[in-house]
Amino acid sequence: MHSTTPSPSRIFLVGYARGYRLELAEGFRDQGYEVACFEDARLAAHTLGFECPSAVLINWAQGGPLSCLEFVERYGGLLPVLVLTPHNVLIDVVRSLRAGAADYIRTPCYGPEILARVQRAQAASPTSRRLSIGGLSLDVESSVAHIENETLHMTVREARILAALLRCPERPINRQALMRVAGITNVKPTIIESYIKQLRQKHPLLRRCIRTQYGRGYAFYPEGEERRP
């Protein structure tokens, strides 16, 4: 790999055989990336509950209780998830892309192309830039929000939930969907109520703008905006 990344990034490699995993990791580290490797998607998903990488490369045939497709469905809307795999079945390519994969790369594929595809996915991802709406801005990667001259520090999960609401203003998102983007599993969906409460307590603007849509979920209404039917 011979190009450079604009800034240091962290990438997850999920489900690759040791030899290929080492080759991929070495190539990305040469370009300034930090690399974390996981044997299966379940282990990667557990780590995503605490940190948010710049991108994920996952093998379609990786083992474990969480399939590649399920991983893409859960996290594809939050960060760039690219399927890099020798698996070449058209219906699975289509399913992956429809589920939210940023790209589907068939191997063999050389390092410079893989790097270029990852960088393109990063540039197009909402997590690679600051989200702004009304007087609020949110940096998803650092989990820091700014409201006028105030700085709000959040947990990774709080930032992900708020980011999901900001990307779909005035559109209610149900608790199950918010759990998926936050990486919350094996608990009742009512846990989202606690996270919403924590967000509202951080600033009066969040208390006013994050509204409960009973039976439908939660939505963010920018200041000065009227509710749409």
Domains, the chain, with CATH or none: 10-127 (3.40.50.2300), 130-220 (1.10.10.10)
Mean pLDDT (whole number) for 135-149: 89
Instruction: Say what the pLDDT of residue 8 is.
Output: 58
Q: Considering the chain, what percentage of its residues have pLDDT values greater than 90? A: 52
Task: Please check the confidence at residue 84 and state whether its pLDDT lies above 90.
Answer: yes
The per-residue b/e assignment along 194-205, b for 16 or more CB within 10 angstroms, e otherwise, is ebbeebbebbeb
C-alpha 200: how far from chain center: 22
pLDDT single digits (tens) 174-208: 887 788 777 787 788 889 999 999 999 999 999 99
pTM as predicted: 0.64
Task: Please answer whether residues 127 and 140 qualify as being in contact, where contact means their C-beta atoms are separated by less than 8 angstroms.
Answer: yes
Say how far apart CA 16 and CA 22 lie, in whole Å: 9
pLDDT single digits (tens) 51-81: 778 899 999 999 888 999 989 887 876 688 9
Task: Please check the confidence at residue 167 and state whether its pLDDT lies above 90.
Answer: no
Band (pLDDT 50/70/90 cuts) for residue 99 is: confident
Mean pLDDT (whole number) for 141-162: 90
Q: Which of residues 9 and 28 earns the better pLDDT score? A: 28
DSSP-derived 3-state class of residue 36: strand
The tally of CA atoms less than 13 A away on the side-chain side of residue 102 is 27
Name the E strands within the chain. Answer: 10-14, 34-38, 55-58, 81-85, 103-106, 131-133, 136-139, 144-147, 150-153, 210-213, 217-220
Task: Please check the confidence at residue 11 and state whether its pLDDT lies above 70.
Answer: yes
Helices (H), 175-215: 175-182, 191-202, 204-209
Instruction: Say what the pLDDT of residue 224 is.
Output: 58
Q: What average pLDDT does the chain have?
A: 85
Region of 82 (left: φ > 0; alpha: ψ -120 to 50; beta: rest) is beta
